[in-house]
Amino acid sequence: MPEFGRRQYRETRAETSDMMKWVISSAVAVLIAGLFFSYRLLIHPGNPDPLLNKRGAFAEMVQRNAFSADQLLEHPSISIAVVSIRFGNKVYRVPRNYLVDLDRSAVAPNPRTTTFEIHVLLPGLTPRNANNADRFIEHPYRDGFHDQVSATIRGGQEELDFSERKGQWERRCEQKGQGEFREVESGYKLCQADSDLFMRGTTEGPLIFACNKISDKNPYCTLAEHTGAEYGVLNLEFSRKYVYQADEIRKRFRALLDSFAEN
């Protein structure tokens, strides 16, 4: 018994020694990792803004239908750092405080599939800043757009054919509405169908858009337009209270978007 006991004791001491070495090594490794993490967190923190992450951590984040409210992923910021975006035949340099969404490949961004979203306030198409941040609506489809314009510059499809779109609007009016457009005000024509359909003749072709019924809780309008980059669709959404300013909103936003273009 004593021999067995001594042999067990010696073996246990050896095992304990090895175990202590392992514990000490593990503790040192944890300590080093902790120091590195503290350095990253306190001294050299990571970029909290995914749109400004140079490693492309925000790549392919959206993958959504631009009309679907419940899929919106919003990342507001008041930073004025510039984000470079290749879209269609243009490169846009957009200040960060205009952007809420950016969907592009991190490896090889395709200017024909990239989609990005801009939010501004009417009447001046003002971006987010420290003084107005509380006026930007996080869930405009639920809480109302108020003075906010949500603009989605969406790739993945060809530019709209407005002649074809005008025909679609007229057929929709015939099949689901009053059968014809009637003059309302400021040169706009209205057909009350499943939605309120609007048209207006302009020097650039027909202005065509739709609005929720005014009886809805938070009625808003949706207007599709050329992007100016020879590809994709510009989709503008804004409160119905601005319905008869739709043409002006469209022109001014296109001018704003063009002002971001490098070429």
22 and 105 belong to one structural domain? no
- Number of domains, the chain: 2
DSSP, collapsed to helix, strand or coil, labels residue 40 as: helix
pLDDT score, position 205: 84
The overall pTM is greater than 0.85: no
3 and 105 belong to one structural domain? no
Give 45-99 pLDDT, tens digit per residue. Answer: 444 444 444 333 333 333 333 333 333 345 568 999 999 999 999 999 999 999 9
Q: What share of the chain is helix, strand, coil (3-state, %, to 5)?
A: 35, 25, 40
188 and 83 belong to one structural domain? yes
244 and 182 belong to one structural domain? yes
Of 46, 63, 78, which marks where a domain is finished? 46
Find all residues with CB under 8 Å of 220, minimum gap 6, and list them: 140, 141, 144, 145, 211, 212, 237, 238, 239, 240
99 and 207 belong to one structural domain? yes
35 and 132 belong to one structural domain? no
Find all residues with CB under 8 Å of 170, minimum gap 6, and list them: 181
User: What's the farthest any 2 CA atoms get from each other in the chain?
Assistant: 110
- Determine the Cα angle at 212 with ends 149 and 234, to 5°: 40
The whole-angstrom separation of Cα 54 and Cα 33 is: 24
pLDDT score, position 160: 83
pLDDT score, position 48: 44
| Structure token digits, residue 121 | 């306030």
121 and 219 belong to one structural domain? yes
Q: Which residues of the chain are modeled with pLDDT < 70?
A: 1-76, 105-107, 263
180 and 71 belong to one structural domain? yes
172 and 155 belong to one structural domain? yes
pLDDT score, position 204: 84
30 and 120 belong to one structural domain? no
| Cα–Cα distances in angstroms (integers) from residue 196 to residues 14, 30, 191, 220, 238, in the given order | 85, 64, 6, 10, 14
170 and 247 belong to one structural domain? yes
16 and 136 belong to one structural domain? no
Give the containing element (helix H, strand E) for 18: helix 2-38
Structural domain span for residue 8: 1-46
pLDDT score, position 34: 58
